[in-house]
């Protein structure tokens, strides 16, 4: 009986072809041109020149099979809807992400806390009004992660130096009940001469509601009776914090 050659399975041929294509597409970051590698770009151009994915890739350090660290970072940012979603994820949610686990979660939480403490130290050394970027970043690091509304205050001395940061009221996702009497009590406790308020919008929107505007005016008028100034009220959400003072509400 004459031997006949068994025809090759078309699916197997396609699988090998796809694997070859994927291998051709994937290149380790070490194989990239030097001026395109995230670490080298950071050293040469500064951290601000890098994208969110590139910064995250430096933090991740390594990718997974068939995906570079930058590819993995892009996947995670898409999965968690950006840096805010990733950094605000619970331990369970974070560890369910492909290519990351508990060790990375611990590292990320440490990075976030160090950032918050650094910004707090910056505000303690100077005038928050002359460091608006640091003030905004500090308030965002403290408030953006909550699934419900939190109303907080920066208590300042006569030279507008930071005395204390306090989270004053916690509410539901629909809003927080804010009591001027309690704020006055805390201001007197700290012997504060001025205050900067902030609260988060869990929805991510930073546009102030009518209730936000009314509350700001109410607090400003109540504290003015004690010669305590309200310098600003920030709304924390996605993107840059919204300043009510800059928009003429204060």
Q: Tens digit of pLDDT for each residue in 4-44?
A: 444 445 454 444 444 444 444 545 666 677 667 888 889 98
How far apart are the C-alpha atoms of 46 and 52, rounded to whole Å? 13
Q: Give helix then strand counts, H and E, for the chain.
A: 10, 5
> Among candidates 58, 54, 43, which has minimal Cα distance to 77?
54
pTM above 0.85, yes or no: no
Alpha carbons within 13 A on the beta-carbon side of 210:
0
Residue ranges covered by each domain of the chain? 18-83, 112-243
SS3 call for 194? strand
pLDDT, one tens digit per residue, over 183-229 is 999 999 999 999 999 999 988 889 888 889 999 999 999 999 999 99
Per-residue CA distances from 134 to 37, 115, 234 (Å): 29, 11, 13
- Name the helix (H) or strand (E) containing 21: helix 10-25
Distance of CA 76 to the CA centre of its chain: 15
| pLDDT, tens digit, 9 for 90 and up, residues 115-131 | 878 877 777 776 665 66
Residue 233: in which H helix or E strand, if any? Answer: strand 229-236
User: Mean of the pLDDT values across residues 78-106?
Assistant: 83
Q: Does domain 112-243 have CATH number 3.40.140.10?
A: yes
């Amino acid at each position: 009986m004459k031997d006949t050659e068994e025809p090759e399975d078309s699916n197997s041929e396609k699988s090998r072809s796809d694997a070859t294509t994927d291998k051709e597409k994937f290149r380790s970051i070490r194989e990239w041109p030097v001026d395109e590698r995230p670490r080298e770009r950071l050293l040469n151009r500064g951290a601000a020149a890098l994208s969110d994915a590139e910064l995250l890739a430096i933090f991740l350090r390594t990718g997974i099979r068939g995906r570079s660290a930058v590819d993995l970072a892009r996947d995670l940012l898409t999965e968690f809807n950006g840096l805010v979603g990733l950094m605000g994820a619970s331990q369970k949610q974070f560890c369910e992400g492909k290519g990351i686990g508990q060790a990375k979660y611990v590292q990320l939480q440490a990075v976030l806390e160090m950032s918050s403490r650094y910004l707090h130290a910056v505000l303690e050394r100077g005038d928050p009004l002359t460091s608006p970027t640091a003030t905004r970043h500090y308030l965002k690091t403290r408030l953006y992660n909550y699934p419900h509304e939190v109303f907080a205050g920066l208590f300042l001395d006569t030279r507008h130096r930071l005395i204390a940061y306090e989270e004053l009221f916690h509410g539901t996702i629909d809003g927080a009940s804010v009591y001027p009497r309690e704020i006055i009590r805390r201001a007197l406790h700290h012997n504060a001469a001025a205050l900067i308020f902030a609260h988060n919008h869990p929805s991510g929107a930073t546009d102030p509601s009518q209730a936000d505007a009314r509350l700001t005016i109410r607090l400003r008028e109540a504290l003015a009776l004690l010669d305590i100034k309200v310098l600003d009220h920030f709304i924390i959400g996605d993107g840059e914090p919204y300043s009510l003072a800059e928009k003429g509400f204060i």
